[in-house]
Amino acid sequence: MKRYYVKVQVNYDGDIEANSPEEAEEKAWHSYYGDDAVLVYDSVESIDVDEYDVCDVCDKDVEEYCECEDEEDEEDE
């Protein structure tokens, strides 16, 4: 089975009372989850999918974790 890295960007919106844009932004970081959330789900902005190159032998990500290719190179020398 193939492995994919999936990134979903979601929008939340709503009204926040604040004394400045900076304060509103700070409050927004804590206002889209929990029981007292003032921001609510609006939409999905995007979904990006990237396929990992997975080794057939060890089933690990070839670029990050697989050492099979290195072992094959050592055997050839």
Q: 49 is in which domain, residue-wise? A: 4-76
Residue 22 predicted with pLDDT over 60: yes
SS3 content of the chain, % helix, strand, coil (to 5): 20, 30, 45
Give the number of domains in the chain.
1
- With b for 16 or more beta-carbon neighbours within 10 A and e for fewer, the 5-32 pattern comes to eeeeeeeeeeeeeeeeeeeeeeebeebb
Name the pLDDT band for 41 (thresholds 50, 70, 90): very high
3-state SS class at 58? coil
- In this prediction the pTM is 0.60
Residue 27 predicted with pLDDT over 90: yes
Mean pLDDT for the chain overall:
86
What pLDDT does 72 receive?
52
What pLDDT does 76 receive?
54
The mean pLDDT value for 56-75 works out to 71
Q: Give the whole-angstrom CA distance, residue 27 versus residue 15.
A: 11
